[in-house]
Amino acid sequence: MKVGVVGLGYWGPNLVRNFLSNEHVDRVVCCDLSEKRLEVARKRFPGVEVTTSYDELLRRPDVEAITVATPVSTHYALAMKALDAGKHVLIEKPMTESSEEAYRLVDRAEERGLTLMVDHTFVYTGAVKKIKEIIERGALGEIMYFDSVRVNLGLFQHDTNVIWDLAPHDLSIMDYLIGKEPIAVSADGASHFNEVEDIAYLTVRYSNQLIAHFHVNWLSPVKVRKILIGGSKLMVVYDDMETSEKIKVYDKGVDIKGRESIYRTLVQYRTGDMYAPRIDLTEALTLVVEEFIDSINMKKRPLTDGHAGARVVRILEAASLSLRQQARVVEMTPRASFERVSS
């Protein structure tokens, strides 16, 4: 098949490279309003076709799929236009600016029998897949908390805040690993330079006392990409900045040996071994592209489908509401009760 990649800024060229490496893709057509970016793409990837016209790209019957790698404010319009043209669609994160837009795209894709997928790249990393494997076999026990830190110095955005820029990565990881609907969201933050929050703290609550916390920051002197997951049996540390041992599993925790009353609870701390499991080092974006192409060819639901994208957007939406209301806790309506929106 032929695939169109729309948007050749930071992430678009990486998508082009991976589509060209996929054995099921014959040709990639690059689309961008900038002639300069198209010229760079032509030199870097000899043989690709280029165009500045999105409408022209959609009119081509030989182009079966479109990847949208443009600013989030344009995702909805570009993706809807592609679905209406009968094209399968892969969208960069976050999926859309609102859950209403996200569910409109989900509805349209299902009506047309088309694949709609969101590029939650970290879900496809060997590290995250290994953690999912550990959780599914029950090794962690009951998950008590999910704690994430994603901070660095810059890059400042002018059209969105730090939550919408950085948090989608870890929210998509949490959504994949936890596999439950949150019941409440709250967020607090501050803006120091360009009137959008450049540092923020986001809390997501689940039933059974499971709590998730996210620290995102454009003002950190160091770059940190770390997730801690605490289970009743084992605990996991995922450090994406580590070159070799990205995952460490700790046999540490707390055991209750007896409880007569709140004042007479016998607690014993457990300190055992640590091990670092071997993980698959295949580039995550290669697996994203494979999943997208396989979902089209096999007519199967992708791992990070439109529903997964919409779930992340719903949390971001609730966080934005909480920010505007001085960190008020926003109750989350169960997904099943959401009225599906159709255009």
Q: Give me the CATH number covering residue 166.
A: 3.30.360.10
pLDDT of residue 136: 97
Judge whether 86 lies within some domain: no
pLDDT of residue 295: 98
pLDDT of residue 338: 37
Judge whether 293 lies within some domain: yes
List all residues 6 or more positions away from 310 whose beta carbon is below 8 Å from its beta carbon: 95, 99, 102, 103, 106
pLDDT of residue 169: 97
Judge whether 29 lies within some domain: no
Q: How many domains would you assign to the chain?
A: 1
Judge whether 114 lies within some domain: no
Owner of token pair 């454009």: 218
Judge whether 51 lies within some domain: no
Burial of 248 (0-12, 13-18, 19+ CB in 10 A): middle
Judge whether 98 lies within some domain: no
- Taking 3-state DSSP, the helix, strand and coil percentages for the chain, each rounded to the nearest 5, stand at 35, 30, 35
pLDDT of residue 341: 33
Judge whether 62 lies within some domain: no
Edge-first strand listing for the sheet containing 211-217: 265-275, 247-259, 235-239, 219-231, 143-153, 211-217, 199-205, 184-190, 330-331
pLDDT of residue 183: 96
Residue-range definition of the domain harbouring residue 134: 123-343
DSSP structural state of residue 122? G
Count the Cβ atoms, other than its own, within 10 Å of residue 269: 8
End-to-end CA distance of the chain: 29
Judge whether 191 lies within some domain: yes
Alpha helices (H) in the chain, listed in sequence order: 12-21, 35-44, 54-59, 72-84, 99-112, 126-136, 162-178, 284-298, 306-324
**Each residue's pLDDT expressed in tens, for the chain with a length of 343 residues:** 999 999 999 999 999 999 999 999 999 999 999 999 999 999 999 989 999 999 999 999 999 999 999 999 999 999 999 999 999 999 999 999 999 999 999 999 999 999 999 999 999 999 999 999 999 999 999 999 999 999 999 887 777 899 999 999 999 999 999 999 999 999 999 999 888 999 999 999 999 899 999 999 999 999 999 999 999 999 999 999 999 899 999 998 777 666 655 555 565 676 788 999 999 999 999 999 999 999 999 999 999 999 999 999 999 999 999 999 999 999 998 754 333 333 2
296 conformational bin, left if phi > 0, alpha if psi -120 to 50, beta if neither: alpha
Distance, CA of 317 to CA of 117 (rounded, Å) = 20
